[in-house]
A and B are shown apart, each in its own frame.
Chain A
Amino acid sequence: MDLTNPASSVVPALRARILVLLARSDAGLTGRRVAALAEGSVAGVAKVLESLVGAGLVHRIDAGSASLYTLNRDHVGAPAVELLATMRAELINRIRRDISQWSCLPVGAVLFGSAARGDGADDSDIDVLLVRPASIDDDDAAWADQVSRLGSAVLAWSGNTLNVVEYSPDEVASDAPGRRAVLSRIDTDGVLLHGTELRILRRRTRAVGR
């Protein structure tokens, strides 16, 4: 699944971008505005909009010389469009829910990289950083099994590979330059999935170590 435009795994890419834009907007949008936001040509977007108007899924209201387009939320297909607009959030929620049910919970779990920024491609990995509790080694069987099961689930939910990077709390608190750079980058664009944010975890672990 392309996390920049997840709906394109269900309908053609331009149509997907247009439908998602309309689902997220309550105000009417002009054809030119839709074309700019959907990064499509004015002519190409106009063609798609007209076909959606023809299907009754989109309303066109004349406003002076322009036309305003809105999603017809009474249409039987509208709930499906609204679902298309929330596919990325739904994937993140499923990952959150899965982790929250683990028998051995991480101290912190952060989605990072292109999946967090929403700029990936079809074959981009879903990058997740996990901070193990201090009592759990990196080869703990129960821990490893739940991470492995999440990998299988993410592949089934999205078609994307789960790429896990794991740290212990001490490693997160470490001052090694290579590590500080990567953790700081993850802190900047990461989406917290479970537990404590890395910068807080880092501060807390250092305070305990003093």
Chain B
Amino acid sequence: MDEHLAKAEQFLAAAEFSLDSGMADAAASNSVHAGIQACDAIRAARDSTYTRGKNHTDAIPILRQAGAEGRTAATLLGRLLAIKSKAEYDTTAITMDAARRTVDNARRLLSLAKGVRAG
């Protein structure tokens, strides 16, 4: 779990730096990675045999069954993955407002993951 949390923190720091530097796409992309790692941390904390699957979206129904924190995490992860999907189809640059919201969602997910670790 700690490895996932450490990676989530790295990606979030990169997202915040990108946002402060006016690089919206990089901020959003790093936020998505941070959120995915935070969800991996939550799942690893709940299930010691957990290994990451090939599709991050499949984590959503599993997280939804993991109490109130899990449901919130599932919704936040869904938001982040929607940004990722959009970027895969649409080459239009993301707005700074959207990037800011994406970084916020990643921050909330990381905070949830730390809460789960703290027990």
What residues make up the interface of B, taking CB atoms closer than 8 Å to A?
Answer: 55, 57-58, 60-61, 64, 71, 74-76, 78-79, 81-83, 85-86, 89-92, 98, 101, 104-105
Interface string of A103-143 (1 = CB under 8 A from B): 00000000000000000000001000000000001110100
Please name all residues of chain A whose beta carbon is closer than 8 Å to the beta carbon of B90 when the two chains form the complex. Answer: 165, 178-179, 182
Interface of B is mostly: helix
What is A's interface to B at a CB cutoff of 8 Å?
Answer: 125, 137-139, 141, 144-145, 147-149, 151-152, 155-156, 161-167, 174, 176-179, 182
- Nearest-neighbour CB distance to chain A for B26, whole angstroms, equals 17
Q: Which chain A positions have C-beta within 8 A of B91?
A: 177-179
Would B86 and A166 count as touching, CB distance under 8 A? yes
Q: Determine how close the nearest CB of chain A comes to the CB of B28; give it in whole angstroms.
A: 11
21 example contacts (A-B, Cβ-Cβ < 8 A) are as follows A138-B82, A138-B98, A138-B101, A139-B79, A139-B101, A139-B105, A144-B75, A144-B76, A145-B75, A147-B78, A148-B60, A151-B60, A152-B64, A155-B58, A165-B85, A165-B90, A167-B86, A174-B92, A176-B92, A177-B91, A178-B91
The answer for the CA separation of A195 and B101 in the assembled complex, in Å, is 27
